[in-house]
Amino acid sequence: MLCSVSPNPTVLSADRAAAEDALGSRVVVETSTLIPAMYLEDELWQSEHFSALLIPDLLRDDAIAAVDEAKSAVPTSMTWDVNQDQPVFHEATADQLSTSVDRAEALLALIEGACTTANTSGLPSLPGVEPGDFDPWMSSLRLAHGEGLALFSEDLGLRSLARGFGIPAFNTHALIEVLQDGGVFDADSADAYRNDLVRAYVVDLPFDEQRLWDIALENDFKPGPAAAALGRPAAWIEPIRTLGFFRTVVSYLSDQGLHDRVPTWLAAASIGAALNAHISKRASLLGLLLMSAIVHSGIQHDNASDLVAASRSIVHLVGLDPDDVDPLKEAVPLVRDLMTDLVVSGQVGATVLWIFRSLSEQDRALVVRALSS
């Protein structure tokens, strides 16, 4: 997900106002502006609505360097896992290396074909920012500030920073809404483009249950763009609403006999919900989502072990220590409390143990300890 839309109404309004004011004028763009066209393999249609798209020379040079780097990349690379505090080695396939080259070249082609490169060497620095600091990322702000132009960017953080310097800023989502209001786009065309962005994994849109449901339904709820969107913190701005959607998805998959797809949705939802919450709340959220998946799928299909494994697999991805946090331990009391209201008194413990019957002996012992705590 590379392009972000704020769920904040005030920010959305500022985006729309900037887009409306910029129509027909020159605007400054940066790398993220070109991402949708690059991934969707379409023309940069947005350029039709402005007199020119200016891009800083530093970003053009950065794109050239990216092509050279992609062409000389080696299959093996290393990153550092800050949660595990150890190096992680990645092996890229020939297809992955080729895709990297193709995307880098596509980005450069868009810059050279649709944009006008602007010299930034003589531009004044931004207030409080030393010359060259954070370049080439900040070069688009220096260009917009120096020329008195709006910034057209898909980067939510950069747009927010721009406004701090008095630079109007907007994104494609705001531009589509302005064009739709003006009759240039109809509602179906606008929605089709937004859906294409979700399918291409390149946008954080405000949460829309129907949009994600329709996209998930296109491929029978297999792991894909809808699940990935649910794994973004932006989808969990209204957690109760999104939790309801998650439960609906799990119930549907269970009813359709697609329970083997529930662990993927559980993992995605757990990442999105946890990263949207304060770290002190994340462990309990993982337990809540695991409990929801078990109740809406695991009881019927005896797949609690798969659900527990999926939940445990993402603990380190949300900044928690797997040695200290176990979603199963968090989920058991919630399942017990729910069963207290549903089964005959005295049978709660036995019912909970039956629900977790597919777990290993070690995990069943954990369930027993959690029940007695």
Nearest to 326 by CA among 314, 337, 334: 314
| Dihedral sign computed on CA atoms, order 126, 154, 235, 227 | negative
Q: What pLDDT score was predicted for residue 343?
A: 67
Which pLDDT score is estimated for 336? 87
- Partners of 312 in the beta sheet? none
Residues 25 and 135 in one domain: yes
- Quick check: is 130 in a domain? yes
Residue 248 inside a domain? The answer is yes
Residue 105: half-sphere exposure toward Cβ, Cα within 13 Å: 8
Is 302 inside a domain boundary? Answer: yes
Residue 29 pairs with which residues in a beta bridge?
A: 152
**The pLDDT of residue 152:** 95
Strand, helix or coil for residue 277? coil
Q: Which of 68-82, 226-240, 251-265, 311-325 has the lowest mean pLDDT?
A: 68-82
Same domain, 167 and 24: yes
Integer-rounded Cα Rg, in Å, for the chain is 24
Residues 112 and 179 in one domain: yes
Same domain, 93 and 166: yes
* Residue 202 lies inside a defined structural domain of this protein: no
Whether 38 is covered by a domain: the verdict is yes
Regarding whether 146 and 246 lie in a shared domain, the answer is no
Same domain, yes or no, for 178 and 212?
no
Select from 127, 157, 188 the last residue of a domain.
188
pLDDT tens digits, residue range 192-209?
888 888 888 877 888 899
The pLDDT assigned to 84 comes to 59
Q: Domain range holding 7?
A: 3-188
Residue 310 included in any domain: yes
Distance between CA 35 and CA 231 in Å, rounded? Answer: 20
Looking at the structure, do residues 282 and 235 belong to the same domain, yes or no? yes
Q: How confident is the model at residue 38 (pLDDT cuts 50, 70, 90)?
A: confident
Q: Is residue 230 part of a domain?
A: yes
- Nearest of 181, 158, 172, 192 to residue 48 by alpha carbon: 172
Say yes or no: 309 and 175 in one domain: no
Global pTM value: 0.80
Cβ–Cβ under 8 Å, residues 172 and 46? yes
Do 137 and 104 lie in one domain? The reply is: yes
- CATH code (residue 72): 3.40.50.1010
Q: What is the pLDDT of residue 293?
A: 94
Give the count of domains, the chain: 2
Largest CA distance in the chain: 79
Query: Taking 70 as the threshold, does the pLDDT of residue 252 lie above it?
Result: yes
196 in a domain, yes or no?
no
Residue 58 near residue 120, CB atoms below 8 Å: yes
Confidence at 79, pLDDT banded by 50, 70, 90: low
- Chosen domain end from 188, 219, 248: 188
pLDDT digits (tens, 9 = 90+) for 139-193: 999 999 999 999 999 998 899 999 999 999 999 889 989 999 999 888 898 888 8
pLDDT band at 69 (very low <50, low <70, confident <90, very high): confident
How far is it, in rounded angstroms, from Cα 28 to Cα 151? Answer: 5
Of 188, 220, 235, the position where a domain reaches its end is 188
Please report which confidence band the pLDDT of residue 286 belongs to, taking 50, 70 and 90 as the band edges.
very high
What value does the mean pLDDT take over residues 225-237?
91
Residues 306 and 257 in one domain: yes
Residues 179 and 213 placed together within one structural domain of the fold = no
The segment with the largest mean pLDDT, out of 95-99, 130-134, 140-144, 302-306, is 140-144
In this structure, the answer to whether residues 284 and 350 fall within a common structural domain is: yes
